Structure 1
């Protein structure tokens, strides 16, 4: 099945970058919500500090008799410490004023009444000060340290606004650092719990879409019990069903193409059998003994051909169940089933290392080995007895990124007709009476394990290579 190749997004793209951006924005919004009360509190504290200097000035005024005036150097020190142009102390209907030697008449005066400390009023005052224009004068009103006394300060608003901007800058930088650290920590946590599993699901779906008949790509569900775990289990079930359906569809298609050939070949074979049976019925005993084997052989061929077709059509096409298997022992068993062990004229050599363990379905993979070894034996048995020694060998070819198993015989090789239809069911047989199903099934099972079965050209004999991914090897 061909499919358009799709590329997964990199780590900091797709859901990842959206997650980081969302977390950062949420933290910044929360910071802004917290920032306004914090800025209002900073402004309130700043104004309270100035009022405390005004209260100190009021005490000084109380300590001085009414007939005396405060020295100029003392008033200047009081005004400088408060950063004010004038300080007014009101008590019992009387007012006392401390002002600069050359007072300046302000153009714009705004009042900050520190007797009103509700949060909305403080926030509105902070925002007004932060974005106010230059040249405004601030009138700060607050209670004195005595009953029914008031202290008022007149001062430029600019120092307060500058300090508020510095404070806002520090808050912004600190919030940015906290947002970045929090976003990274949350991203790592969420990535571990959600993003990585979603990427695994996405990668699996893209890979399985490319090769839906490769059972090794069926996702292995994790033991999670949440929604992602449910998706993994359902995806695994869907991929298994799709794998079985596609293989069964291939079998049915092959059967449909073979129906005409089956009918023709089977009809001819049974016609020959019927003619022979008629002759047998009219012959004496000596001739019956001579013709009977031919009759049996013809009928056996028809029965075997029909049985192979039925077996291929009924194959369940279940996905392989992977388990560690010692390959050398599996090949030895396949050689025994292929009647190579103790064969009078064919020597068999198993060159697979003892420590090569693969994660495969032993039952299905044994069928591949049996088909290849059986085909090699039948090819060598067709060679004349006076030919050079007949040999079949199985070996592992060195490869850095794949597992390559070579099945080699020194027989007559494959005819061109067999090469042209090598893995096509009912077409790729190299001997009379064969169905061509062996290699078709062998390739199908190999592909289900994520590998390939290929014919390698060589001057003498036949060589088939099974190429498996390195991931199937059990270290």
Structure 2
């Protein structure tokens, strides 16, 4: 399976367009917050201007004893200058009215009381005017220039709404212009400081991923002291380590292939020598009879070593095929294969409960138990008569998180030199002539099941704990 190749975003996509859009959105949001009070103040100023004309008209009315005696052209001029259909002047309980020659009867009248100047009332009034329908009449109420006097104007709301819309368009154009200029300026600054370095990192990662063995693709970090500089330096160190590791792995792979070929030929040669040694062992010469067993044993060890190296080289990292397995039965089968069942000298005890069923790969875990049990038998056999009652036992315990299977013996234990590199291939063997591959493979299999294989140091004997997650248990 091939990994999908990543494609670097274009110059005006990815982080670039997101940054510009975010900056403009934030600026416009701020402009909207500022726009509402500004629109309310604009409306209030417009209404105050109309009220001032109404106050002038009120002075005229107050100076004339008989309002009806005013010339019609004068009253019409007053109303036209205020843009009103009618002006009412109230003072000391008396009202005076001037209106157009042809008065208009309004359908919908909305009151704007300019004596209430709090911000929320002004904003609510501005929004009401801005989104109002056509044909409404505005009743403007304000204080006159004399104590306890009121001036009221009746006028169409449409002129006010038209000027507010024109004002809003101007504010919107200015806001968009400011947002665009600010966004471009911040984008250029952010591009120089952040986006271009990030694009450089991204391009390098994509290129190095395609050819990790090309040393020229290792990024050269800049002298920045910030987080991007740290990322550049760490990426350079990681790519250098990866380049060295891949080159070393390739060399080891080539060396391993050569060793495998040499080992294969060596095994064939040793097999031929073994056949000859078997024939030599049949001779009646006393010297031959004394030396032949040693020769055969040495050849057997050499062939076994060569075969184990070939087997380890052919190991594949196959995923475990999980299925419910009765653990006690699995251990009994491994003990039989390890020649512990019916052993004349070594006692085998399987203390695992019969009802313990786990979801695991029986073939792989069987190899783990076979290796542990076989090592225990060989250690007890090598100790000979030094152990009074040689015994290998397997037990199981469980807590809230793990199931622990313990494999132990009462043999001589592991020497200190074997404990240091116990699970290292070709270095962790506890017996002479061993390859150390068994425990290394056993640990890999256990980790593939989500568990771990641990050596438990104790005064006498050898103990290994195979710890598996309790989630593998099959509950009935």
Structure 2 length-normalised TM: 0.54
Q: Superposition pairs for residues 198-277 of structure 1, below 5 Å?
A: 198-259=198-259
Match of 1:145 in 2: 145
Provide the rounded CA distance (Å) in 2 between the counterparts of 1:84 and 1:6.
69
Query: For 1:396-444, what per-residue CA distance to the aligned partner results, in whole angstroms no more than 9, with x for missing partners?
Result: xxxxxxxxxxxxxxxxxxxxxxxxxxxxxxxxxxxxxxxxxxxxxxxxx
How many angstroms apart in 1 are the aligned matches of 2:264 and 2:34? 88
**Does the Cα contact within 8 Å between 1:109 and 1:139 map onto a contact in 2?**
yes
CA contact (8 A) 2:88 2:97 kept: yes
Q: Larger RCO: Structure 1 or Structure 2 (Cα < 8 Å, ≥ 6 residues apart)?
A: 1
Deviation at 1:65, TM superposition (A): 2.8
Question: Against the structure 1 CA distance between its residues 198 and 67, is the aligned structure 2 distance closer, same or farther, given a 3 Å change threshold?
Answer: closer
Q: Are the counterparts in 2 of residues 221 and 229 from structure 1 also a CA contact under 8 Å?
A: yes
Distance across 1 between alignment mates of 2:183 and 2:138: 41
Name the SS of the counterpart of 2:16 in structure 1: helix
CA drift of 1:137 comes to 0.7
* Residue 33 of structure 2 is aligned to residue 60 of structure 1: no
Change (3 A) 1:160 1:221: same
Where does residue 356 of structure 1 map in the other structure?
Answer: none
Q: How many residues align?
A: 267
Alignment of 1:308-387 (within 5 A): none
The corresponding residue for 2:187 is 187
Cα deviations by residue, 1:181-207 (Å, 9 ceiling, x for unpaired): 111111111111111111011000001
- Where does 1:401-412 land on structure 2 (aligned, <5 Å)? none
**What does residue 41 of structure 2 align with?**
41
* Mapped contact 1:222–1:229 kept (Cα < 8 A): yes
Report matched runs for 1:390-429 at 5 Å: none
Residues of 2 paired with 1:243 and 1:263: CA distance? 29
1:121 aligned partner? 121
Give the secondary structure class of the aligned counterpart of 2:117.
Answer: coil
Alpha-carbon deviations, 1:282-335, whole Å to 9, x = none? xxxxxxxxxxxxxxxxxxxxxxxxxxxxxxxxxxxxxxxxxxxxxxxxxxxxxx
SS in 2 for 1:142: strand
Q: What is residue 22 of structure 1 aligned with on the other side?
A: 22
User: C-alpha displacement at 1:68, in angstroms?
Assistant: 6.5
Change (3 A) 1:203 1:107: same
Is this contact kept in 2: 1:204–1:217, CA < 8 A? yes
CA contact (8 A) 1:3 1:210 kept: no
**Residue 139 of structure 1: how far off its partner (Å):** 0.4
**Residues 67 and 264 of structure 1: CA distance in aligned 2, closer, same or farther (over 3 Å):** closer
Stretch moving more, 75-84 or 88-97: 88-97
Residue number in structure 2 paired with 1:398: none
Q: Residues 260 and 46 from structure 1, CA distance in 2 versus in 1: closer, same or farther, beyond 3 angstroms?
A: closer
1:3 touches 1:209 (CA, 8 Å); kept in 2?
no
Task: Mark the runs of 5 or more structure 2 residues left unpaired by the alignment.
Answer: 268-476
Match of 2:11 in 1: 11
Q: Which residue of 1 aligns with 2:77?
A: 77
CA shift in 2, pair 1:107/1:258, >3 Å:
same
Rounded to whole Å, the distance in 1 between the matches of 2:200 and 2:84 is: 67
Q: What is the Cα deviation at residue 225 of structure 1?
A: 2.0
Deviations 1:218-247 (A, max 9, x none): 111122222211111111111111001000
Give CA deviations for 1:372-419 in whole Å, capped at 9, x if unaligned. xxxxxxxxxxxxxxxxxxxxxxxxxxxxxxxxxxxxxxxxxxxxxxxx
What is the CA-CA distance between 1:256 and the residue it aligns to?
A: 1.1
Counterpart residue number, 1:98:
98
1:155–1:68 CA distance, 2 compared to 1 (3 A): closer
Secondary structure of 2:69's aligned partner: coil
Question: 2:86 maps to what in 1?
Answer: 86
The alignment's C-alpha RMSD in Å is 2.1
Separation in structure 2 between the aligned mates of residue 51 and residue 12 of structure 1, nearest angstrom: 53
Task: State the alpha-carbon separation in 2 of the partners of residues 67 and 244 from structure 1.
Answer: 104
Check conservation: 1:31, 1:175, Cα contact below 8 A. yes
Q: Take 2:68 and 2:245, find their aligned partners in 1: how far apart are those partners?
A: 110
1-structure distance, mates of 2:176, 2:261 = 77
Q: CA separation in 1, counterparts of 2:111 and 2:67? A: 32
Any idea what SS the aligned residue of 1:137 has?
A: strand
Superposed CA offset, 1:27-76 (max 9, x none): 11111111111111111011011001001101111222347721111100
Distance in 1, matches of 2:206 and 2:78, equals 78
Distance 1:165 1:187, change over 3 A: same
Deviations 1:2-50 (A, max 9, x none): 8654331111001111111111111111111111111111110110110
Does the 8 Å CA contact 2:67/2:96 hold for their aligned counterparts?
no
| Alpha-carbon shift at residue 173 of structure 1 (Å) | 1.3
Distance (whole Å) between structure 2 residues aligned to residue 83 and residue 264 of structure 1: 110
* Structure 1, gaps ≥5 residues long: 268-475
